[in-house]
Chain A
């Protein structure tokens, strides 16, 4: 089972906190990779929150291609962070791991965010296409205030490899996943978390409805609905589709992936709308077993389970720092000093929501449509 470790805090913290939490949850063999999604960046990125950050891996051949392309498109480089990698047994390093901050091209600087978002997406997809055949460029995200870092290997070894314990890279929201690859070939693009235009998520388990969901999303005419090297990538895109594209409140993400029965909806004040959503978004229903943890552009984090609660999940912490983990021991590692009695283990109807700023945990109940 993939290990999920998310921490949300009102203070900047190191991604090593997540890596150590992953380590406590380790069981059996696991070397297929780790992914980090860092949002609300601190450290050397603190003063550049409005500027897009390109998270990518390049070979020596790919680097000049990337630089030339970005220049041609009018992006002006402002800052570059590259981890100081150390040789670690079992990790095959690549040439460049980069997080590059750019100024928008001049003609875009005063445009609204949605136009900028589209530009960033198109640029990311084009870079991905250019480097896909020879893996000379691997791009994970291109978005303001977000860095993604992924590599194949054991999470703890990767933490050491990237020097995360010493790096000046911090964030207030970090999602980390140790991927125990069982279903697919090892591929960096299959490594969680996934990110699209401000929305990020990671999932464990198997998404049995992957094919119909993928086919439905690719028919939505959004260029970002592509990739799908992992069956879990669709969760991020469903989140993006429901909240960003359709404009629904976050709780309707839960109503989309695990809809209530018509009888259960009768008890909801928004039952009429729910009935319509259930039929219109039928193809996006999942069956699990899945635990899904994600974040929104505003910094809200959440955890949901499949409709049968076939995967564990634990959320706990103190005001100002909460951990959302696939197992309780991960919470212990991330926030050891807390009142464990207040830990939340979301059940089939629950959606755990931690508002921006990590001041409190809300448990929204799907049957009652209330926290």
Chain B
């Protein structure tokens, strides 16, 4: 086989070209099955494959004696690029559209991709989460304290279960503004009671309008409303940085949403101007100081995702990179600036809305925790572990920065226990919840380590909208605006592929089934009316070091 046109391929020295073996995914194209329809090359989001033409020479002999005839023919083929900017991301969209199963990318475990993905000095940026397919700590935890003969287990199918949690600063019992009159307790009037919401303990974590496509965000919002109003499951959803559509701000559905304010303050001009028109308070306000996927980095929305709607909501020009600073520029100390920010946000809604910070998992989490524990207006602490996802970040931040959620959460919880404040400041854990598909088991393990609630992001994109990303760096194109599923793009050609109704339906499926699975975990452990927060005697792990660090049982 030779190229139809002479060119570089005819040169003997291809020394500065990469081989396909250097790439993370190698496209297996089956010549004999391919009917040359061209769908695969048209749909490839990164142009890793392209139609090509080659000349084939075939020698045939048809007579009784050898009479070789040389035949040259021009043949259409599918070629994989060996340009680093057009590397195959393994999304397999080509396989999806191929009518004859003639093409499929295959993971190449010996790739050397990161050695080359910095052309022009441009460091590798991507979406997704940490590329580490090994079992996380929370995935290794087992539930081993099963009630059987000592006492009957509960019945997951028939007993009454109440899977709820609180978001908000809970007063210690000694400080409750109640007084006894006769045999009854009554409230002492005109005393401040911090707002506390009763919510479902699995929350949808911060993903912004802008990072997500309109149908994805719409699907999430519809599902949250449906879960709350039709299924009786008070699922909360955080908006991420970048505001929300003005219509939602003025609607009664706002009460299901946690508005996030982050270091770029994007979207807050619209939110502040909507304040007088709000018919409901938001569920809570999340102040983002850090994100597990990229500690030390602020939010990042690449220019090609900043289209008209996004620009309007965020109050910025179209087509510019929106990089939030790594920290809030007003923040000079946690004692003053953070406290003031919490109070300011509380004041904006008349102290009726819980306000809580979100940080990335870190060795310094306990310091933050202790500051918040002393701040009576801090409503919770959300800790995002290293396995959290993001729409755009430097690969080095995602892969190498951050702290696993399990031990970070545990030491924070035990620190609160030592102060007797474990019920006052709820801990929200996130980062890798459901990474292997075990949403309920991961959530339950985190509750037993001390979390009052967990947040999911990447999981819901995968489970509800078929996000193709995984820990083998598959796809992870969220930052480019070329999401082949239409989840993280603002390109109508791409997001038209995503049906918001189907997304909403799948989200409801996910929550309903997770609820059943939580009961299946809690019932044999004898817990039903409250979450098993801190019930660490129910957990075990077959790793002594983890058991010692988390202060749980070791089993083997």
B-binding residues in A (CB < 8 A): 182-183, 205-206, 208-212, 215-216, 218-221, 241, 245-249, 251-252, 258-259, 261-262, 269-270, 272-274, 276-277, 279-283, 285, 287-289, 307-308, 310, 369
Contacts and interface: CB of A to CB of B under 8 A. Distances in A.
A308 B528 contact: yes
Given A212-B534, A369-B184, 20 more contacts: A205-B151, A208-B525, A208-B535, A209-B535, A210-B537, A216-B420, A216-B423, A241-B173, A270-B185, A270-B186, A272-B187, A276-B176, A276-B177, A276-B193, A279-B423, A280-B176, A281-B423, A282-B533, A307-B529, A310-B152
12 contacts: A183-B150, A208-B151, A208-B526, A215-B417, A246-B174, A269-B184, A273-B176, A274-B185, A276-B193, A281-B173, A287-B530, A307-B160
**Would you call the interface of chain B mostly helix, strand, loop, or mixed?**
loop
Interface of B: 147, 149-152, 154, 159-160, 162, 166, 170-174, 176-178, 180, 183-187, 193, 196, 198, 417-423, 525-530, 532-537
A283 B185 contact: no
A261 B418 CA distance: 29
A247 B185 CA distance: 10
Contact of A248 (B147, B185, B421): B185
B419 A219 contact: yes
Given A212-B535, A282-B166, A262 B198 contact: yes
A365 B527 CA distance: 23
Nearest to B183: A249
B417 A219 contact: yes
A279 B170 contact: yes
Contacts of B196: 279
Given A211-B536, A289-B151, A283 B187 contact: no
Contacts of A274: 185
Contact of B529 (A241, A249, A252, A258): A258
Nearest to B416: A219
Contacts of A277: 173, 176, 178, 185
A288 B420 contact: no
Contacts of B159: 308
A252 to B, nearest CB: 7
A261 B530 CA distance: 10
B523 to A, nearest CB: 10
Given A273-B178, A280-B173, A208 B420 contact: no
Contacts of B183: 249, 251
Contacts of B530: 209, 282, 285, 287
From A211, A218, A245, A279, name the one whose CB has the most chain B CB atoms within 10 angstroms.
A279
A210 B422 CA distance: 15
Contact of B537 (A211, A270, A287): A211
Nearest to B184: A270
A99 B8 CA distance: 103
A283 B533 contact: yes
B232 to A, nearest CB: 10
Nearest to B232: A263
B532 A209 contact: yes
A86 B147 CA distance: 40
B526 A288 contact: yes
A280 B150 contact: no
From B151, B417, B525, name the one whose CB has the most chain A CB atoms within 10 angstroms.
B151
B185 A219 contact: no
Contacts of A182: 149-150
A285 B162 CA distance: 12
Contacts of A288: 526
Contact of B423 (A211, A241, A251, A282): A282
Nearest to B420: A219
Contact of B527 (A209, A262, A272, A289): A209
B170 A282 contact: yes
Contacts of B166: 279, 282
Contacts of B536: 211
A246 B172 CA distance: 11
Contacts of B154: 287, 308
Nearest to A269: B184
Contact of A273 (B172, B187, B525): B187
B421 A249 contact: no
A206 B526 contact: yes
Nearest to A215: B417
The 8 A-B residue pairs whose C-beta atoms are closest, nearest first, are: A219-B420, A208-B526, A206-B151, A273-B185, A212-B534, A285-B530, A211-B537, A280-B173
B185 A212 contact: no
Contacts of B151: 205-206, 208, 289, 310
Contacts of A218: 420
A64 B134 CA distance: 62
B532 A212 contact: yes
A267 B506 CA distance: 36
Given A206-B151, A212-B533, A215-B422, A273 B186 contact: yes
From A241, A274, A280, name the one whose CB has the most chain B CB atoms within 10 angstroms.
A280
B150 A206 contact: yes
B529 A287 contact: yes
Contacts of B171: 276, 280
Contacts of B418: 219
Given A219-B419, A219-B420, A208 B147 contact: yes
A285 B420 CA distance: 16
A270 B537 CA distance: 35
A211 B186 contact: no
Contacts of B184: 249, 269-270, 273, 369
B422 A280 contact: no
